[in-house]
Amino acid sequence: MVVAIDGPAGAGKSTVAYAVAEALGFTYLDSGAMYRAVALSVLETGESPQQRAAAMRIELGDRITADGRDVTDAIRTTEVAEAASRVALDQGVRSALVEKQRALLATGDWVAEGRDIGTVVAPNAELKVFLTADAEERARRRADELGADWRMILSDQALRDQQDRSREASPLRAAPDAVELDTTGLGVEEVVTKIVELIHAGR
Ligand code: CDP
């Protein structure tokens, strides 16, 4: 079974998806980590994003490795986030990563999160959730995580949201059959409980 969780930056997808996976005994797939790993490699090597995406071996888990190197922390900077949003515009990059994601999702039970899980990667997912929250709250959450100023994060986030929503290849949008959940003012536990209830209701 696949549970797809999509939404803009800072909507709480990673924390929520991880917790839902834990609650259900499913495996968690952070598709954004793959775009970040490709972006980091492009920044470091100067090679083409498509070439990197096709050639890299990315392993996800408690630690994230790229060609055997631990990049768990290196991919979390705002510089890499911005570069990830840029490499994610490229259809060649997307095809290579979507193929890797589909291969993982083909066996077992997953909670997968990203921008295009419900629309492109797993259109037959049993449950699709589109998580949102107002922009200021999203920026404040991310600033708390990074120990940064939320106003700076807000402008980076607006740029990235705009790029993700308006791109031609797999733009960020809710699948027609997704359940939209606005998490403004909600704690992680409340959101996780709602999603677990939706899964049980659908069975
Ligand atoms: O954690 P945050 O939501 O800020 O970002 P992320 O999920 O780590 O993704 C980083 C960037 O990768 C996003 O801004 C998107 O441009 C891109 N991405 C994508 O295009 N498709 C996905 N399935 C996941 C991420």
Quickly list DSSP for 112-171: EEESSIIIII-TT-SEEEEEE--HHHHHHHHHHHHT--HHHHHHHHHHHHHHHHH-SSS-
Average pLDDT over residues 146-151: 91
Give the total residue count for the chain. 203
Q: For residue 164, is pLDDT > 60?
A: yes
Q: Per residue in 30-73, pLDDT tens?
A: 999 999 999 999 999 999 999 999 999 999 999 999 999 999 99
Q: Mean pLDDT throughout 79-84?
A: 94
Contact of 97 with 31, CB cutoff 8 Å: yes
Q: Hey, whose CA ends up nearest to atom 4 of ligand 1? A: 9
Ligand 1 atom index nearest CA of 116: 23
84 Cα: distance to centroid of ligand 1 (angstroms)? 7
Segment 162-173 mean pLDDT: 92
**Spacing, Cα 88 to ligand 1 middle (Å):** 8
Instruction: Tell me what the mean pLDDT of segment 127-143 comes to.
Output: 95
SS3 content of the chain, % helix, strand, coil (to 5): 55, 15, 30
pLDDT band at 137 (very low <50, low <70, confident <90, very high): very high
Kindly give the distance from the C-alpha atom of residue 82 to the centroid of ligand 1, in angstroms, as a whole number: 9
Mean pLDDT for the chain overall: 95
Specify the residue with its C-alpha closest to ligand 1, atom 7.
32
Which pLDDT does position 203 carry in this prediction? 57
Return the ligand 1 atom nearest residue 81 CA.
10
Cβ of residue 65 lying under 6 Å from some atom of ligand 1:
no
Nearest CA to 157 out of 72, 84, 102 is that of: 84
- For residue 85, report the distance from its CA to the centre of ligand 1, in Å: 6
pLDDT at 136: 96
- State pTM to two decimals: 0.93
CA 30 to ligand 1 centroid distance, Å: 9
Residues 173-189, mean pLDDT to the nearest whole number: 95
Q: Is the pLDDT of residue 145 over 90?
A: no
What's the pLDDT score for residue 146?
86
Give the pLDDT of residue 10.
85
State if residue 199 touches ligand 1 by the CB under 6 angstroms criterion. Answer: no
The Cα–Cα gap between 20 and 190 comes to 11
At 59 the pLDDT is 97
